[in-house]
Amino acid sequence: MGREQITLLSRREIDKMRQAGQLAAELLDYLAPMVKPGVSTLEINDEAERWTQARGAKSAPLGYGPKNNPFTRSICTSVNEVICHGIPNAKQILQDGDIINIDVTPILDGYHGDTSRTFFVGTPSPEAKRLVEVTEECLRRGIAAVKPGAKIGDIGAAIQEYAEANGYSVVRDFVGHGISHVFHTAPQIPHYGTRGKGKRLKPGMVFTIEPMINQGTWEAVMLDDGWTAITADGKLSAQFEHTVAVTKDGVEILTLRN
């Protein structure tokens, strides 16, 4: 980890990333009202695909991954104990009290906008509500640690401290990532770690921060489909994600709607 070169994007490339990021944020806003009891995760997927195509963009997840087992849908839908990479399915019907992370990555003019939020289906339990609120605050604190001269470890430390102070655990097996005209590239951004450790942040770096926070153990188990990651203890997991750029004096959230 941390051996490959980190590309610094030009002003022009960051403009492209902003356009893709804005599209991704709009897509989540468009899908949000669909999150209701009785809706299948495939219905949400199909609306996302239709909306994305109508804007001249492509869905990065569709066909992504190893040739012998590519991802077969346009978005990830991760319900309750699913940590990430849940595969939309016609038989998976949302129920009152579920939580669902919707993770979208449209490609616009060659550049990726990667963002996700966890939504409540109907009325959440107090436990689910607290987990989701703490997870969103973890992302906020991770982003607040981003500025030129800070270290990658500062981001994970901020997230881990807040998650663990609230009695939760931080998933280790999946991390944030550099992103541009490629979906996943250097650097890796762990959501745990030590302040002052890791590479130094520089203006022009663009990466995601996407903490996955668990109610119980951080350990993950992969289902036989080769994609769906679930909590080892079956307890809830939540996630929020933004794509961010390191700027001259701080950070710009590219997937926050202007």
Residues lying near Co ion in the complex (CB under 5 A) are found at 103, 114, 116, 208, 210, 241
Q: In angstroms, what is the C-alpha Rg of the chain?
A: 17
Number of chain positions touching ligand MF3 (CB under 6 A): 13
Cα angle 136, 137, 138 (rounded to 5 degrees) comes to 90
Q: How many CB atoms lie within 10 A of CB 46?
A: 16
- Helices and strands in the chain, H and E counts: 4, 17
Q: Please identify which residue in 31, 44, 76, 206 interacts with ligand MF3, judged by CB under 6 A.
A: 76
| Partner from Co ion, ligand MF3, none contacting 207, C-beta within 5 to 8 A by type | none
Candidate segments 44-52, 64-72, 90-98, 243-251, binder of ligand MF3 by CB under 6 A: 64-72
Among 65, 148, 216, 250, binds ligand MF3 (CB under 6 A): 65
Q: Which of 161, 169, 180 is nearest to 112 (CA)?
A: 180
* Residue 112, helix vs strand vs coil: strand
Per rule CB under 6 A, is residue 241 in the interface with ligand MF3? yes
The option from ligand MF3, Co ion, none interacting with 169 (CB < 5 to 8 A, set by class) reads none
In this chain, which of 81, 98, 114, 154 binds ligand MF3, going by CB under 6 A? Answer: 114
64 binding ligand MF3? (CB under 6 A): yes
The region, left, alpha or beta by phi > 0 then psi within -120 to 50, assigned to residue 234 is left
- Which positions from 166 to 205 touch ligand MF3 by CB under 6 A, shown as an x/- string? ----------------------------------------
The reply on whether position 97 binds ligand MF3 by CB under 6 A is no
Which positions ≥6 away from 163 have C-beta within 8 Å?
Answer: 134, 135, 138, 169, 170, 211, 213
